[in-house]
Amino acid sequence: MILPHILVIEDSLLHGKMIQDVLQKNNYSVKWVISAEDALDEDLDKYDLVLTDLILPGITGYELSEKIKSKNPYLPIIAITSVTEDESISKALSLGADDYIKKPFSVIELIARINVQLRTRHFQLELIKKNKELEEANKKIKELAVTDMLTGAFNRVYLREFLTNIAKENLFKKVSCFIIDLDNFKKINDTYGHLMGDIVLKNLVTICKNIIMNKGIVVRFGGEEFLGIIIDDKANAYDIAEKIRIEVENNKNCEFRWTISIGLSSGILTSKNVYEDFEIILKEADEMLYVSKKNGKNRVTKK
């Protein structure tokens, strides 16, 4: 059984020892220090609750509460005070204390207040955990919605989102687009089977991602056709396309040789006509792809 770990800050040796003994008898793990400075030297992530006197030498309990909450917002703090003025208690609560108890106090009241704060902390941490799990699940759902299930490339849904974001962020944006088409893909499926065809598609996307990296995106446009969209102004789209072609040609992950043909075009996307502008670039890239196919395949042709 893991005992709740409590950090006690009390400069009075008499009161500090008394609190430590009481808490240990009630099945709490206790670390007692005599100053706020000592408390701040502790790894506060190890603790489940802080119990601090407000009147301390050096850094006061008020300041300590504020410092702790700034870095550990979900670590409960109970202030111990002999001050009875409402203003002082209000100050402690406003600076980070979650509760307070006045000296002299009964053991029953102290334990009850500690348990309330520990339960609250438990619920808070569970809620944070559930929220993180929900965020991860939502992130995964969104990824699935914009990702081609077979290859891991983006799909047309993401392509539209991608273009929309470009329009929001830029009045004018230069982009390069190349269409990649697997040469003789039907023959690959007919000869080696569709499972091997799927492996080829996945290998192609892996190669594209490894070469394009953060310079742009890879989109499955349909069947064995993929788009490489380069948005890095400093990147040479033709060199990237040629590297992809060569890497495919030299790929040893399959028992047979396979190649690709690429058509490349560049242009300016404007925020007002981003989709129309992209269609023009895409059409030109498609025309260049036709030229690559016509001239023997396994080549890159640019506008």
DSSP secondary structure string, 45-105?
A: GG-SEEEEES--SSS-HHHHHHHHHHH-TTS-EEEEES---HHHHHHHHHHT-SEEEESS-
Alpha helices in the chain (DSSP H): 13-25, 36-40, 61-71, 86-95, 107-145, 156-169, 185-192, 194-212, 237-249, 274-294
CA distances from 18 to 21, 32, 81, 114, 214 (A): 5, 11, 15, 16, 61
Pairing, β 5-9 against β 49-53: parallel
Overall domain count for the chain? 2
Of 228, 221, 233, 236, which Cα lies nearest the Cα of 170? Answer: 233
What is the distance between the alpha carbons of residues 246 and 300, in angstroms, rounded to a whole number?
Answer: 10
Query: Domain check: are 169 and 70 in the same one?
Result: no
Query: Domain check: are 197 and 238 in the same one?
Result: yes
How far is the first Cα of the chain from the last one, in angstroms, to the nearest whole number? 71
Is 218:208 a contact under the CB 8 Å cutoff?
Answer: yes
Query: Domain check: are 248 and 164 in the same one?
Result: yes
Pairing, β 225-230 against β 172-182: antiparallel
| Domain boundary pick from 133, 166, 191 | 133
> What pLDDT score was predicted for residue 84?
66
Query: Domain check: are 169 and 267 in the same one?
Result: yes
Q: Is residue 138 part of a domain?
A: no
Residuewise pLDDT in 10s, the chain (303 residues): 788 999 999 999 999 999 999 999 999 999 999 999 999 999 999 999 999 999 899 999 999 999 999 999 999 999 988 776 667 778 888 888 999 898 888 999 999 999 999 999 999 999 999 999 999 999 889 888 999 999 999 999 999 999 999 999 888 999 999 999 999 999 999 999 999 999 999 999 999 999 999 999 999 999 999 999 999 989 999 999 999 999 999 988 888 999 999 999 999 999 999 999 999 999 999 999 999 999 999 999 998
**CATH code: domain of residue 240:** 3.30.70.270
pTM of the model: 0.64
> What pLDDT score was predicted for residue 2?
86
- In this structure, the number of other CB atoms found within 10 A of the CB of residue 53 comes to 23
> What pLDDT score was predicted for residue 85?
64
Query: Domain check: are 129 and 198 in the same one?
Result: no
What is the distance between the alpha carbons of residues 286 and 275, in angstroms, rounded to a whole number?
Answer: 16
Query: Domain check: are 171 and 94 in the same one?
Result: no
Query: Domain check: are 243 and 275 in the same one?
Result: yes
What is the distance between the alpha carbons of residues 147 and 135, in angstroms, rounded to a whole number?
Answer: 18
- Write out the residue range of the structural domain in which residue 201 sits: 156-302
Which letter does DSSP use for residue 1 in this model?
-
Query: Domain check: are 70 and 195 in the same one?
Result: no
Whose structure tokens read 């070469």? 211
Query: Domain check: are 162 and 229 in the same one?
Result: yes
* Catalytic site positions: 224
CA distances from 98 to 51, 66, 140 (A): 10, 11, 36
Amino acid letter, residue 83: V
Query: Domain check: are 97 and 178 in the same one?
Result: no
Compute the C-alpha angle 94/98/100, nearest 5°: 95
Q: Is residue 193 part of a domain?
A: yes
